[in-house]
Chains A and B, each alone.
Chain A
Amino acid sequence: MIAGLVLLAGGAAVGLFGSLLGLGGGILLVPLLTLGFGRPLREAVAISLVSVIVTSSAGAGIYLRRHVANLRLGMVLELFTACGALLGGLIAFALPVPVLEGLFAALLAYVAFNMLRRRPPKATATPQPPADEVLVPPSGEGTDPVALPAASRATAVPPVAVVPTPAVPMPSTWPFVRSLSGPGYTVTRMPFGVVGAVFAGIVSALLGVGGGIVKVPLMNLAMGVPLKVATATSNMMIGITATSSAVIYLLRDEINPYIAGPVALGVFVGASVGARVINRIDTAFLQNLFVAVLIVTAAQMAAKAVGL
């Protein structure tokens, strides 16, 4: 019974801190399960995928109700993230575990680096949107049964430095791509989107993350999609992306329901709580603490990868 409660609490902590810090759940959950609970990496990745689907579905429901996500663009891109996830799911069983651990260590280091880069700017520096800018939901927050940032923070929001949408995007000459545009913006450079979506799917399937770290900058910087729409659309796409690879893990008996259950439940509850207290908590200290945790975790994962 104690182990079940500890897993539940661990999931809740991941959901809560992921929600407060704008980190994806997978980036926290996989190290927790492997380094903290001694679970095999593939099992941890599989459980992480299940957890991100839960928070993605909840968040996508809210985003779609508020018409923030671009359903048409998301469905086209998720076709390619799903292809990438299928590929990644197969690669995951072909690669040796130490290689996967090394890749995850690199991802952790990259996220830590980006969290350091996106610290609040000085008055004279080039204005950078705060971490919350990509997370702030439309008005009405707190009235929903499933709080918006609970999912967006836990699954979709990449801890990357964000840059405003290019001012003058070049319109696509392909009518279908133009039809994917939304109110006030035009979708551009679809080929970048396709290639990036496949890559995001592979990353998601290999490492058990939502892939927002790739998709949001891709849509925002390369395709001319406003940041908030890109975040919401990425969040919506995670469900199918993660499902495409999760079924491979499921049918290869890598999902332990006794662990996945309490962890997914905990992540959902923790992320929901985080969404409700975010405005009352100073996350600056938490962020600094977390950069340190990420660096230490990356080092541990790297050491595990090389057999130390």
Chain B
Amino acid sequence: MSAAPDPRVNETAYRLEARISRLLVAGTYLAIGLVLVGVVAMLATGVDPLALATPTFDAGRIPADVAAGRPEGFLWLGLIAVLVLPLGRVSVAGVGFLAARDTRLALVSLAVLLVVSASILAAVGLER
């Protein structure tokens, strides 16, 4: 199968795929960059990752950790960026489908985001 553009695929879909592609590549570099800063800081401060207990995730503490240059802040920020990236891809696709008046695919995008939201709620529910 050739990767060459097929005339049957409309321009809107191609533009949307190109936009999502840029988001994913740039987002991956951003996320990996943040993780890299965290890893370098971790190595520089002599932290032994295998000796530490798993820290509790607290999103509210991340900005302060980043501002203070603590490795944990950058590591969490990078990992959150990793997790958010696919959601960004779905959101951009959903908006794109909506703009193209493809209501069904826009609703599918929304449903995907709702399922991920349900995962978050389920996790919070399990914690209680």
Interface residues of A (CB under 8 A from B): 1-5, 7-8, 37, 43, 50, 53-54, 56-58, 60-62, 64-69, 71-72, 75-76, 78-79, 82-83, 85-86, 89-90, 93, 138-140, 145-146, 176, 182-184, 226, 228-229, 239-240, 242-248, 250-262, 264-265, 268
- The 8 Å CB contact of A3, one of B21, B23, B51, is B51
Q: Which of B93-109 contact A (CB under 8 A)?
A: 93, 104-105, 108-109
Give B32-69 as 1s and 0s: 1 = Cβ < 8 Å from A's Cβ atoms: 10011011001100111111101111000000000000
Q: Which chain A residue shows the least CB distance to B94?
A: A75
CB distance from B125 to the nearest CB of A (A): 10
**A89 — nearest CB in chain B belongs to which residue?**
B119
Q: In whole angstroms, what is the CA distance A252 to B86 when docked? A: 20
Closest to A256 in B: B54
| A residues in contact with B76, CB < 8 Å | 257
Other A-B contacts than A64-B17, A261-B39, 12 sampled, CB-CB below 8 A, are A54-B82, A67-B9, A71-B13, A75-B112, A138-B3, A240-B90, A246-B83, A247-B83, A250-B83, A251-B57, A253-B55, A254-B54
Q: Which residues of B contact A67 (CB under 8 A)?
A: 3, 5-6, 9, 14, 17
Question: Could you tell me if B27 and A57 are in contact, using CB atoms closer than 8 angstroms?
Answer: yes
Within 8 A of A (CB), among B110-128: 111-112, 115-116, 118-120, 122-124, 126-127
Binary interface encoding of chain B residues 4-21 relative to chain A, with 1 for a CB under 8 A from any of its CBs, else 0: 011011000110111011
Q: Which residue of B lies closest to A138 (CB)?
A: B3
Contacts of A68 in B (CB 8 A): 1, 3
Distance in Å: Cβ of A174 to nearest Cβ of chain B: 11
- The answer on a CB contact under 8 Å between B36 and A79 is no
Inter-chain contacts of A1 with B (CB < 8 A): 43, 46-48
In the complex, the chain A residue whose C-beta lies closest to that of B44 is A1
In the complex the two chains form, is A82's CB within 8 Å of B116's CB? Answer: yes
The dominant DSSP class at the A interface is helix
Name B residues whose Cβ lies closer than 8 Å to a Cβ of A: 1-3, 5-6, 8-9, 13-14, 16-18, 20-25, 27-29, 31-32, 35-36, 38-39, 42-43, 46-52, 54-57, 71-72, 75-76, 78-79, 82-83, 85-87, 89-90, 93, 104-105, 108-109, 111-112, 115-116, 118-120, 122-124, 126-127
Q: Do residues A255 and B57 form an inter-chain contact, with CB atoms below 8 A?
A: yes
Q: List 27 A-B contacts (CB under 8 A).
A: A1-B43, A3-B49, A4-B42, A8-B39, A37-B50, A57-B24, A57-B27, A57-B89, A58-B25, A60-B89, A61-B24, A68-B3, A71-B17, A75-B93, A82-B116, A86-B115, A139-B3, A226-B1, A247-B123, A253-B54, A255-B79, A256-B49, A256-B52, A257-B76, A258-B75, A262-B39, A265-B32
The CA-CA distance from A62 to B123 in the complex, in Å, is: 32
The DSSP consensus for interface residues of chain B is helix
Q: In the complex the two chains form, is A62's CB within 8 Å of B21's CB?
A: yes
Partner of B55, one of A79, A251, A257: A257
A12 to B120, CA, bound (A): 30
The 8 Å CB contact of A253, one of B56, B72, B120, is: B56
> Shortest distance in angstroms between A284's beta carbon and chain B's nearest beta carbon?
26
Q: Which of A90, A229, A244, A261 interacts with B1 by CB under 8 Å?
A: A229
From A37, A71, A255, B20 is in contact (CB under 8 Å) with A71
A256 touching B21, Cβ below 8 Å: no
Q: Are A265 and B39 in contact, CB atoms less than 8 angstroms apart?
A: yes
Partner of B25, one of A5, A62, A138, A248: A62
Contact flag A53-B17 (CB < 8 Å), given A3-B48, A240-B90: no
B123 touches A261 (CB 8 A): no
Question: Complex Cα distance A69/B93, Å?
Answer: 14
Among B39, B43, B52: residue with most chain A CB under 10 A: B39
